[in-house]
Protein backbone atom coordinates (compact mmCIF):
# COMPACT_ATOMS: atom_id res chain seq x y z
CA UNK A 1 0.00 0.00 0.00
CA UNK A 2 2.82 2.39 0.80
CA UNK A 3 4.41 1.85 -2.61
CA UNK A 4 1.15 2.66 -4.41
CA UNK A 5 0.80 5.86 -2.37
CA UNK A 6 4.35 6.96 -3.16
CA UNK A 7 3.88 6.29 -6.87
CA UNK A 8 0.63 8.26 -6.83
CA UNK A 9 2.33 11.16 -5.05
CA UNK A 10 5.19 11.21 -7.56
CA UNK A 11 2.71 11.24 -10.45
CA UNK A 12 0.79 14.08 -8.79
CA UNK A 13 4.04 16.01 -8.19
CA UNK A 14 5.01 15.65 -11.84
CA UNK A 15 1.55 16.76 -12.99
CA UNK A 16 1.66 19.75 -10.67
CA UNK A 17 5.11 20.75 -11.92
CA UNK A 18 3.77 20.58 -15.47
CA UNK A 19 0.85 22.82 -14.47
CA UNK A 20 3.30 25.28 -12.86
CA UNK A 21 5.28 25.47 -16.11
CA UNK A 22 2.11 26.08 -18.15
CA UNK A 23 0.96 28.79 -15.72
CA UNK A 24 4.37 30.45 -15.95
CA UNK A 25 4.14 30.47 -19.74
CA UNK A 26 0.67 32.02 -19.59
CA UNK A 27 1.92 34.55 -17.07
CA UNK A 28 4.73 35.64 -19.39
CA UNK A 29 2.85 35.49 -22.69
CA UNK A 30 -0.69 36.37 -21.63
CA UNK A 31 -2.26 38.74 -24.14
CA UNK A 32 -4.10 40.82 -21.54
CA UNK A 33 -3.50 41.87 -17.97
CA UNK A 34 -6.55 39.90 -16.83
CA UNK A 35 -5.05 36.72 -18.28
CA UNK A 36 -1.85 37.38 -16.38
CA UNK A 37 -3.69 37.93 -13.09
CA UNK A 38 -5.60 34.67 -13.54
CA UNK A 39 -2.37 32.87 -14.42
CA UNK A 40 -0.73 34.28 -11.30
CA UNK A 41 -3.64 33.14 -9.14
CA UNK A 42 -3.50 29.67 -10.66
CA UNK A 43 0.27 29.62 -10.20
CA UNK A 44 -0.14 30.37 -6.47
CA UNK A 45 -2.61 27.48 -6.21
CA UNK A 46 -0.35 25.07 -8.06
CA UNK A 47 2.60 25.98 -5.85
CA UNK A 48 0.45 25.48 -2.76
CA UNK A 49 -0.67 22.06 -4.01
CA UNK A 50 2.94 21.14 -4.82
CA UNK A 51 4.02 21.98 -1.27
CA UNK A 52 1.09 20.03 0.19
CA UNK A 53 2.08 17.00 -1.89
CA UNK A 54 5.65 17.31 -0.64
CA UNK A 55 4.32 17.41 2.92
CA UNK A 56 2.38 14.22 2.31
CA UNK A 57 5.41 12.54 0.72
CA UNK A 58 7.83 13.46 3.51
CA UNK A 59 5.29 13.15 6.33
CA UNK A 60 6.08 16.56 7.82
CA UNK A 61 3.53 19.03 9.13
CA UNK A 62 5.62 22.15 8.50
CA UNK A 63 4.79 21.96 4.80
CA UNK A 64 1.10 22.45 5.58
CA UNK A 65 1.81 25.67 7.46
CA UNK A 66 3.93 26.94 4.57
CA UNK A 67 1.11 26.09 2.16
CA UNK A 68 -1.33 28.07 4.31
CA UNK A 69 0.94 31.12 4.20
CA UNK A 70 1.28 30.81 0.44
CA UNK A 71 -2.50 30.56 0.07
CA UNK A 72 -3.01 33.72 2.13
CA UNK A 73 -0.33 35.61 0.20
CA UNK A 74 -1.79 34.49 -3.11
CA UNK A 75 -5.30 35.55 -2.13
CA UNK A 76 -4.23 39.00 -0.97
CA UNK A 77 -2.08 39.63 -4.04
CA UNK A 78 -4.83 38.49 -6.42
CA UNK A 79 -7.38 40.74 -4.74
CA UNK A 80 -5.00 43.69 -4.90
CA UNK A 81 -4.24 43.15 -8.57
CA UNK A 82 -7.92 42.67 -9.43
CA UNK A 83 -8.85 45.88 -7.64
CA UNK A 84 -6.03 47.71 -9.41
CA UNK A 85 -7.24 46.48 -12.79
CA UNK A 86 -10.83 47.49 -12.02
CA UNK A 87 -10.27 50.95 -10.57
CA UNK A 88 -6.69 51.90 -11.36
CA UNK A 89 -5.83 52.27 -7.67
CA UNK A 90 -5.50 49.89 -4.76
CA UNK A 91 -6.12 52.19 -1.80
CA UNK A 92 -9.01 54.61 -2.04
pLDDT digits (tens, 9 = 90+) for 15-66: 999 999 999 999 999 898 889 999 999 999 999 999 999 999 999 999 999 9
pLDDT of residue 47: 95
CA–CA distance, 81 with 70 (Å, rounded to integer): 16
pLDDT of residue 85: 85
pLDDT over threshold 70, residue 1: no
Entry pTM: 0.86
Amino acid sequence: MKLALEISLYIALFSTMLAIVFCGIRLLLGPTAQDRVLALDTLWMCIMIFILLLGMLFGSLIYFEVALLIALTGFVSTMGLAKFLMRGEIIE
